[in-house]
Structure 1
Amino acid sequence: MTIFWIILAAIVAALVALFQYGYIFSNKKNNKRKPWFALLRFLTVFTILILFLDLKFDKTTYQTIKPLLLLELDNSSSIVQLKADEELKADYNSLINHPSIKENFEVQEFLFSDVIKPLDSLKFAGVETNIFNAIEQPQKLFKDRNKAIIILTDGNQTSGNSYSYASIDAKSAVFPVIYGDTTNYPDLKITQLNVNRYSYLNNEFPVEIFTTYSGSDAITTQFKITSGNMTLHQEQIRFSKDNPSQIVNLNLTSKKVGTQSLKASLTPLTLEKNISNNNRNFAVEVIDQQTKVLILSNVLHPDIAALKKAIASNQQRDVSIQNTDDNPDLNDYNMVIFYSPDNAFAKAYNQAKQLNKNTWTITGPSTDYEFLNSQMTAYSIEVDEEVDEVQPILNTSYTTFNLEDYSYDDYPPVQVPFGAVKMNTAPDVLIYKSIGDVETQQPLWFTYEENETRHAVFLAEGFWRWRAQSYLDEKDFKNWDELVGSQIQYLASNKRRNRLELDYKTFYYQNQKIIINAQYLDKNYEFEDNGILNITLIHKKSNNRTVRPFILDGNSYTVDLSGLEAGDYKFTVKVENDQLSQSGALSILEFDVEKQFISAHDQGMKKLVGIDGVYYQGQIEDVITQLLNNPLLKPVERSSTSYASLVDWQYLLGFILLLLGLEWFLRKYSGLI
């Protein structure tokens, strides 16, 4: 069809040229130059008509694509522990400098420990090893390319899924190279230690220790728990090839308030190669009393059970439920929760005011709002018998305590009084009401301070559904219980709010993330997001000083202290250009999971790729041979076709202009113009 249009364009162009120069329907005398003029006009018209046909031409180019070689180096400290770092470096250099590798592969290099990142410097400083990610993630990242994944590792994994069950896709070939001695030596190890983080003064707290033995001979060793130079417990433990594990259960007594640092240890064997895994440091924070909370209610309701369970989820709290007829002495409690108050609560409210007790008022099915308004000066609620069903909107700017980890999206509705809330003081609103799709500025849950006391108000019935929803979402009650716990912690103390508040634990394990959060408020007690905060830590034993800045993270400031050496620290947090500071102390307990290994581990890789697919240090030449002979890892020739239209040809436009210009010049020269 295209040929037909081209022929037709040629005929039309010829007719136009012959007609314009008098060859058709003309009696004029022919000029000997007319044929040339006609030819020029024919070429011009024909070229223009061809442009209207929008002819396209394809062009195919070919490109040779080399297979990928993803080189992944284990950067964890266990490589040094097994004295295999120099061998790994030597094999790495041999691999990347091999001429056949340079010629036949596109090489990309990575480090991995707990995460994978491009190779910059090899320091063997990783505190955890996740080999599963080192196998899976590159396959996902380069899923459309044929590739070889060479993993230089000791095979010891401390986090993540078992890599022996990782998947290998059809476009990938995995070549593990194991470093370190794979010989099994006799070894004693404390594999796990379970202990509660908190204990009460003069109370017993349980400790559970899991110990293992690898060896063929029957042995007896001594197990100890010490605190400083004092031995708190010791006993003999027997192991054998048929009985390689023992569980030690015991109770210790907390005798001093504060952080009690302890150490569990197994006496090493004579031939034991690694004794660092014979010890495990742990700690318990000893507190001198529980927070006693009273829930005062004259009705039975699922909300009360949900509230009690949330509060009691922390062993530092003791919860009692009573009614007004019991005439409880509020002086025996740190704080009081009034659930569904009515006229019968008058005496309790008066006693709470006299004792300057912190309170939490929660409305319920029998709340008398006229009575409640008569007791409160900070707020009032419009009296209306109707109720609304509302959902929560978390106020991310709430500053009384940290809300960073809380989430309440799509929580079921609760019933609230229909009347509006009028505030007579400046509240700190934790949750606003959402009615249907309308987000309001009416408070559902708020706190405020009055004289020397703190108070919370929760205007809802049916919040037990939120605790249930927390379990449906997370498979535990943590989300809801921690929010209630934060509210109890705020109300259990009469300490005035400081403009600089710190949130931290008194002790951390060395392999954990060590995070300190800070709340910095301006003089109006509103969150200040322009502060410059720094923490100065001093190691109590060595007096080494460390200074690190806080970074803004949502509605708080955080600093990551991970990587500090183990020991006891005192610290001070200061706000630059403001006369604010807070001091404290914390302990970092020594625990390096990478030091728990006495040999390299090749069994996982054998399960993954087969016995013949695992290589060892010094066998890089064998790996290179397999790379070059693997049919999957051959260069691929890829074709790409591009299409171009005549309209896009600038040279054709220039040709048309040249024809028109030449025709005009010749006509002018011949006196035809």
Structure 2
Amino acid sequence: MTILWIILATIVAALVALFHYGYIFSNKKNNKQKPWFAFLRFLTVFTILILFLDLKFDKTTYQTIKPLLLVQVDNSSSIAQLKVNEDLKTDYAVLIEHPTIKDNFEIQRFSFSNQVQPLDSINFNGAETNIYNAIEQPQKLFKDRNKAVVILTDGNQTSGNSYRYATIDSKTAIYPIIYGDTTNYPDLKITQLNVNRYSYLNNEFPVEIFTSYNGASTVTTQFKITSGNTTLHQEQIRFSKENTSKIVNLNLTSKQVGTQSLRASLTPLTAEKNISNNYRNFAVEVIDQQTKILILSNVMHPDLAAIKKAIASNQQRDVSIQKTIDNPDLNDYNMVIFYSPDNAFAKAYSQAKQLNKNTWTITGPSTDYEFLNSQMTAYSIELDEEVDEVQPILNTSYTTFNLEGYSYDDYPPVQVPFGAVRMNTVPNVLMFKSIGDVETQQPLWFTYEENDTRHAVFLAEGFWRWRAQSYLEEKDFKNWDELVGSQIQYLASNKRRNRLEIDYKTFYYQNQKIIINAQYLDKNYEFEDNGILNMTLIHTTTDRQIVRPFILEGNSYSVDLSGIGAGDYRFTVKVENDQLSQSGSLSILEFDVEKQFISAQDSDMQQLVGVESVYYQGQMEQVVAQLMQNPLLKPVERSSTSYASLIDWKYLLGIILLLLGLEWFLRKYNGLI
């Protein structure tokens, strides 16, 4: 069809040229210059008509794509513990500098410990090892490319899913290289210890210890739990080749308030090479009483179960649900939650005011807003029988407690009263209402202080939906329960608010990431983002002093204490240019999971890729040979076709202008203009 249009354009251009210069429909006498003028006019008209046809031309280019070689280096401390760090570095350098590899592969380098990241240095200081991530993540990141993943590791994994069950897709070839002695030596080990973080004074708390033995002969060892120089429990444990593990379950008594540091240990065997995995330090924070919380409600609703479970997720809290007809004595509780209040709550509200109790009011399906307005002086709600469905907008400037890590943007809608909320005091809003795509400044969840009491208000029915959404997103309720727990912690105490608040735990494990948060408020109790905060830690035994600055992150300050070493510390946080400081103490318990291994481990890799596909330190030439022989890892020639329209060709416009100019000049020269 395009050819027909070109032929038609040729005919039209010829007719226009012949007509213009008198070759058709004219009796004028031709001169010898006219054929050249007609030819120039023909070219001009033909070129313009061609532009209208919008002709397109394709261009095909070819590119050779090399296969990917992803080098994953185990950067965890167990490599140095097994004394193979220099061997690994040597093999790594040989691999990436090998001429055959450089000529035939596109090389990308990564390191991994608990996370996979681009390789910038090899220091073998990773606190955990997740080999599963090192196998899975490259497959997701380069899912459309043929690739080889070379993993340089000791095969010992301390976190994440078991890599022996990892999935390898059809575009990926895995080449593990194992470093370290794979010989099995006799070894006793405490593999896991389970204990509750909190206990109550003079109560028993359970401890569960998993012990194991690697060896061929029958052995007997002494198992102990000690606190300082005091032995709290001991027993004999017998292991053999057939009976290689034992679970010890026992109950211990918490005898004094504070952090109780303990140690579980197995007496080492004479032939053991590594005894650092024979013991495990742990701690329990002993508190002298529970926070008692009353939920008062006259209706049955899923919200009640969700609220109770969220609060009770912390064992320091005792939650009970009662009706108003039960006439509960509010003096027995630290705080009261009023769910869906109506006239029947009049006595309870009156008693709460007399006892200066902190309260949390949550509206529900039978809330009497006229009654609620009569009880409240801090706020009122316009009376309307209609309801709205709203979603939450988290107020990142909320200062009552730390909101770092919380996100509720995609939570399902809940039902709220249609009427607007009028505040008679300055509230601290935790969440605003979002109605459809409209973000409002109307409070959905807020707190306020009145005289010496604290109060929270949640103006919505559907609390249970948000707790369920937390599980759908995180596979647990932790995110939501911690937010509710922070709200309860704020309401369960009448302690006067300080301008400097430190959020920390009394003990941490050495292999954890240790983050301490701080809230610094100005004299109007609004968040101050220009503060300079420093923490000074002093080791109680050695008096060694450590100073760490806080960093501003969102609406709080934080300091990272990871890697400061095990021990008991006292600390002081000071604000420069302000007479504010807070002191406390914390313990860091010794535990290095990377020191639990005495040899390399190749059995999981053999199950993953096959016995013949596992290589060992120094076998780089064999690895290179296998990489070159693998048909998956061959260069691919990829063609790409690009299309260009004739109308985009700038030179064509220049040709048209040149033809018109030349024709004009020749006509002028010959006196035809």
Counterpart of 1:65 in structure 2: which amino acid? I
**Residue in 2 that maps onto 1:288:** 288
**Residue in 1 that maps onto 2:634:** 634
Task: Give the deviation of 1:632 after TM superposition.
Answer: 2.0
Counterpart of 2:547 in structure 1: which amino acid? T
Task: Give the deviation of 1:618 after TM superposition.
Answer: 0.7
**Structure 1 residues 191-200 or 69-78, which shifts more?**
69-78
Secondary structure at the counterpart of residue 558 of structure 1: strand
Distance 1:20 1:412, change over 3 A: closer
Whole-angstrom CA distance in 1 between matches of 2:567 and 2:110: 33
**Structure 1 residues 480-489 or 429-438, which shifts more?**
429-438
Task: Give the deviation of 1:90 after TM superposition.
Answer: 0.8
**Residue in 2 that maps onto 1:88:** 88
Secondary structure at the counterpart of residue 277 of structure 2: helix
**Residue in 1 that maps onto 2:208:** 208
| Contiguous gaps of at least 5 residues in structure 2 | none
**Residue in 2 that maps onto 1:158:** 158
Task: Give the deviation of 1:119 after TM superposition.
Answer: 1.4
2:145 is the alignment partner of 1:145: yes
**Residue in 2 that maps onto 1:189:** 189
Task: Give the deviation of 1:219 after TM superposition.
Answer: 0.4
Whole-angstrom CA distance in 2 between matches of 1:668 and 1:467: 88
Distance 1:547 1:350, change over 3 A: same
Whole-angstrom CA distance in 1 between matches of 2:403 and 2:584: 22
Secondary structure at the counterpart of residue 505 of structure 1: coil
Counterpart of 2:148 in structure 1: which amino acid? A
**Structure 1 residues 555-564 or 360-369, which shifts more?**
360-369
Whether the aligned pair in 2 keeps the contact of 1:414 and 1:463 (CA below 8 Å) is no
Whole-angstrom CA distance in 1 between matches of 2:209 and 2:9: 94
**Residue in 2 that maps onto 1:393:** 392
Whether the aligned pair in 2 keeps the contact of 1:128 and 1:594 (CA below 8 Å) is yes
Secondary structure at the counterpart of residue 490 of structure 1: helix
Task: Give the deviation of 1:281 after TM superposition.
Answer: 1.1
Whole-angstrom CA distance in 1 between matches of 2:61 and 2:298: 85
Whole-angstrom CA distance in 1 between matches of 2:605 and 2:311: 47
Give the TM-score taking structure 2 as reference length.
Answer: 0.86
Number of positions where the alignment pairs a residue of Structure 1 with one of Structure 2: 669
Whole-angstrom CA distance in 1 between matches of 2:338 and 2:55: 85
**Residue in 2 that maps onto 1:260:** 260
**Residue in 2 that maps onto 1:551:** 552
| Contiguous gaps of at least 5 residues in structure 1 | none
Whether the aligned pair in 1 keeps the contact of 2:223 and 2:236 (CA below 8 Å) is yes
Secondary structure at the counterpart of residue 276 of structure 1: coil
Whether the aligned pair in 1 keeps the contact of 2:414 and 2:461 (CA below 8 Å) is no
Task: Give the deviation of 1:317 after TM superposition.
Answer: 2.7
**Residue in 2 that maps onto 1:524:** 524
Counterpart of 1:169 in structure 2: which amino acid? D
**Structure 1 residues 322-331 or 173-182, which shifts more?**
322-331
Whether the aligned pair in 1 keeps the contact of 2:411 and 2:469 (CA below 8 Å) is no
Whether the aligned pair in 1 keeps the contact of 2:392 and 2:408 (CA below 8 Å) is no
**Structure 1 residues 424-433 or 338-347, which shifts more?**
338-347
Q: How does 1:39-50 map to 2 (within 5 A)?
A: 40=40, 43-50=43-50
**Residue in 1 that maps onto 2:133:** 133
Distance 1:443 1:62, change over 3 A: closer
2:97 is the alignment partner of 1:97: yes
Q: How does 1:190-589 map to 2 (within 5 A)?
A: 190-294=190-294, 308-319=308-319, 331-337=331-337, 352-353=352-353, 355-360=355-360, 377-379=377-379, 388=387, 393=392, 395-396=394-395, 397-404=397-404, 405=406, 407=408, 410=411, 413=414, 423-430=423-430, 445-457=445-457, 478=478, 481-540=481-540, 541=542, 543-553=544-554, 555-589=555-589
Task: Give the deviation of 1:196 after TM superposition.
Answer: 0.8
Whole-angstrom CA distance in 1 between matches of 2:321 and 2:5: 96
1:32-89 deviation per Cα after TM superposition (whole angstroms, max 9, x unaligned): x666555555555555555454444433332222222111111111111111111111
Whether the aligned pair in 1 keeps the contact of 2:194 and 2:208 (CA below 8 Å) is yes
Task: Give the deviation of 1:452 after TM superposition.
Answer: 2.3
**Residue in 2 that maps onto 1:28:** 29
Whole-angstrom CA distance in 2 between matches of 1:317 and 1:486: 12
Whole-angstrom CA distance in 2 between matches of 1:53 and 1:381: 69
Distance 1:377 1:629, change over 3 A: closer
Whole-angstrom CA distance in 2 between matches of 1:566 and 1:607: 38
Give the TM-score taking structure 1 as reference length.
Answer: 0.86
Whole-angstrom CA distance in 2 between matches of 1:159 and 1:196: 21
Whole-angstrom CA distance in 2 between matches of 1:54 and 1:198: 78
Counterpart of 1:220 in structure 2: which amino acid? T
Whole-angstrom CA distance in 2 between matches of 1:426 and 1:17: 86
Secondary structure at the counterpart of residue 569 of structure 2: strand
Secondary structure at the counterpart of residue 447 of structure 2: strand
Whole-angstrom CA distance in 1 between matches of 2:297 and 2:655: 97
Task: Give the deviation of 1:534 after TM superposition.
Answer: 3.9
Counterpart of 1:545 in structure 2: which amino acid? I
Task: Give the deviation of 1:455 after TM superposition.
Answer: 3.2
Task: Give the deviation of 1:113 after TM superposition.
Answer: 1.6
Whole-angstrom CA distance in 2 between matches of 1:364 and 1:52: 70
Whether the aligned pair in 1 keeps the contact of 2:538 and 2:569 (CA below 8 Å) is yes
Counterpart of 2:605 in structure 1: which amino acid? M
Counterpart of 2:200 in structure 1: which amino acid? Y
Whole-angstrom CA distance in 2 between matches of 1:571 and 1:355: 36
Whether the aligned pair in 1 keeps the contact of 2:537 and 2:547 (CA below 8 Å) is yes
Whether the aligned pair in 2 keeps the contact of 1:406 and 1:483 (CA below 8 Å) is no
**Residue in 1 that maps onto 2:113:** 113
1:107-134 deviation per Cα after TM superposition (whole angstroms, max 9, x unaligned): 1111122222211111111112222222
Distance 1:523 1:590, change over 3 A: same
**Structure 1 residues 103-112 or 344-353, which shifts more?**
344-353
Whole-angstrom CA distance in 1 between matches of 2:35 and 2:429: 95
